[in-house]
Amino acid sequence: MQVAPDGRVIGWSVSAEKVFGWSAQEAVGRHIGELVASVISVECRWTSAIVEALSACSPMIFHVLDAELRIVQVSGVCARKPSYPVSVIGGAFRDVYGLAAPAAEEKVARGVLSTGKPVLDHVVRARLPGDPRTRHYSLSYIRMENLHHDAAGLVVLALDVSDRVRATQRLTILQAVRDRVDEQLDVIAVCRALTGAVVPGFCGIAVVEVIDGVVRGEDPPLAPVDGAVQLLRAAFRGVVSAHPVGEVSRLPDATPFSRVLTDLRPRRVEVTPDALWLTADPARAASIARSEAHSLIVAPLALRGRAMGIVSFYRSGSEEPFEEEDLDLTADVCAHAALSIDNARRFTRESTIAATLKRRLLPQRPAATSAVDIARLHLPGPGGGGAWFDVIELSGARTALVLGDVAGRGVATATTMGQLRTVIHSLAALDLEPDELMAQLSDTAARLAGERAALPPGDSLQTEPLTAGCLIAVYDAVEQHCTIVRAGLSDPCVVHPDGTAAAIPVPEGPVLAGHGHAPFPAITVELPGGSTLALCNENLLIPNGHVVPLLAAGAEDSLDDVCDTVAYALRGRDETEKLLLLARIRAFPADRVVVLSLPPGNEAAPLARAAARRQLAAWNIEEEEAFTAEIVVSELVGNAVRYGDPPLELRLVLDRHLTCEVHDGTPCAPHLKHARTVDEDGRGLFIVATLADNWGTRYSPDGKTVWARLSAGPPP
């Protein structure tokens, strides 16, 4: 018979089969305690010959106890050593073997005596006679019976499983470290997770100190580390702390902690009151004394020769001192933690760069317009995101409100956001309808997605598809209606002047960069003065949600106060980035708009000039500016008469600027020409472009409108 170190039978001879009555197929792989129990149950007795036969081929120690649990016989490898004391014979098993929980073990033993049911492979901590170390033993209890089937005592098989337990603990701690720290993307969170993984399974106290710059994403220094480098106490778990978590300080010289940052080698240190290194840090020395720590391992957090910090493991009180083999475990633990810290550091740095880039790409304040008051609430999520907004002033007292969201985080997401925002500004200058603008934006996003997919396979961005959503709302202050189109984002919400709120059911279009060329249907709704339009990148504006009632309750409050109220309500919901854009509509004064129908012939220009002259005088426009506006009106009307079709219409809008618009029934686009000196005509739009601040053309189902914006306005 052959028995493995863990007590399993691995060899079975013919003689063993005759003695025990088990075949090789039945015996191999079973615990030897089961064989002993079978012999006792069959023979109803126990002989020294069987003890010696079993102990000769097993690494176990065999104990025979009487009914009072006193040791009667001991056999086995340890019992044959000269150092093994013979005085254990006659002693109580619970006392002789220094069991860590003697009362509990006696209860187990008496339970076997009482019931006769064996207890096998019961792991305990004990210290055998003559052994200075406490070890882990697997104990198996089997009842012996006399010829009358009464309990005569116990056979106790003890197997040293310290290596097995240590290996199991090692794997358990390493797995705990992996499970906890791998999920973290913040340096401090990694450090806290590390202390939680090793206390109390490996040590009673753990302290993590990280080089201060690493927490902010800076590159860790090469070893040896300069003594002036500041360390942040990032995490602590235990009973007594020398320094508060969050404190930044320099490590004292000539201590195990500073030495570890010099050569990146872990150290096992026996803590004694007269240790010289304790005098270098009185606060730490006092804390160690209060905690009764007696054993210490200091290990570096390092990667590729760069130091990120140190971890201090303490054992105190009744805990076993650290041994040399514990250094290997701490080295593995700290190496894995260092890799996680480096990943978190890189993530922090990239997030910082992305946040900085995003701040530069976004408008610092919403653009002021005379048609709407604007406020926005931005709650960045962990690692940032790709949400953005824009407020773009358009011709004819119109305002475009844009809210978008690029999926993902980091520099690539912020860059894509900036690209899409630039495209929107360029397309808005063309006076496209919202649905056409969204379609053009989606085409651009599709091209960007194609460029990303065409990156080399080794590029991490190549496997991240580009996905983005957007909502565009164009409010016409003169007509008091709003045209809205959306791609992937949730419906907007409107709060009416009386405080009632409702979602606007905008038909959902596909996300940007989606497959195919699906249309983006638009909806037009009336928005009278005093209404508040709310756009959000998340599904927060559902009618039964808790944000919409807050918007309704704040119908008469300032938009900034409403944003504060919503921010308070969303406290603790920062798992994702949230962006809320509020636009409160102002009633446009009716006396600031003039509309005049014009005849199709040459008399249209003189009529338009005269009407413009009278209205500009009524608006108190300065004479020089009025003269310039009159020339612009004349050229716009003349261009429409010559190249357009009726009906013709002149509209003057006095907002923060003066806008002159001429509508005709031809959808053909006008072209700016640079006429030669000898040419009789072709200078109309050139004159308009020279005199106006800006000009352009917008199209409608019944024709086109050519407009020009001038800086003219009433005197202050």
590-710 CATH:
3.30.565.10
Please tell me the predicted confidence (pLDDT) of residue 77. 53
CATH 3.30.450.40 domain locations along the chain: 166-350
- Dist. CA 471–CA 506, nearest whole Å: 10
CATH 3.30.565.10 domain locations along the chain: 590-710
Q: How many CB atoms lie within 10 A of CB 179?
A: 11
Amino acid at 12: W
CATH superfamily of 2-160: PAS domain (3.30.450.20)
Please tell me the predicted confidence (pLDDT) of residue 221. 93
Beta carbons of 271 and 347 less than 8 angstroms apart: no
Please tell me the predicted confidence (pLDDT) of residue 131. 72
CATH 3.60.40.10 domain locations along the chain: 365-585
Please tell me the predicted confidence (pLDDT) of residue 122. 85
Beta carbons of 534 and 492 less than 8 angstroms apart: yes
- Dist. CA 695–CA 672, nearest whole Å: 11
Please tell me the predicted confidence (pLDDT) of residue 680. 45
Please tell me the predicted confidence (pLDDT) of residue 282. 87
Please tell me the predicted confidence (pLDDT) of residue 676. 46
Give how far the C-alpha of residue 402 lies from the chain's centroid of Cα atoms, to the nearest Å: 26
**Mean pLDDT, contiguous 10-residue spans, the chain (716 residues):** 65 67 72 60 51 59 85 67 60 81 89 87 80 81 75 83 84 89 88 93 93 91 90 89 84 90 93 87 86 93 94 90 90 94 90 81 72 89 81 90 90 88 91 91 90 83 85 93 93 92 91 77 92 90 81 89 90 79 90 92 92 93 91 91 91 91 87 51 76 89 91 66
N- to C-terminal Cα separation, the chain:
110
Give how far the C-alpha of residue 57 lies from the chain's centroid of Cα atoms, to the nearest Å: 57
Residue 29 contacts by C-beta under 8 Å, 6 or more apart in sequence? 8, 9, 10
Strand partners, 527: none
Please tell me the predicted confidence (pLDDT) of residue 210. 96
Beta carbons of 69 and 109 less than 8 angstroms apart: yes
CA neighbor of 183 nearest in space, from 193, 175, 174? 193
- Dist. CA 14–CA 7, nearest whole Å: 20
Torsion of CA 433, 437, 440, 444, to 10 degrees: 170
Please tell me the predicted confidence (pLDDT) of residue 643. 87
Fold of the domain spanning 166-350: Beta-Lactamase (3.30.450)
365-585: what CATH class?
Answer: alpha beta
Please tell me the predicted confidence (pLDDT) of residue 199. 92
DSSP state of 80: G
Encoded tokens for 509: 């279009």
Please tell me the predicted confidence (pLDDT) of residue 72. 83
CA neighbor of 700 nearest in space, from 296, 272, 398? 398
CATH 3.30.450.20 domain locations along the chain: 2-160
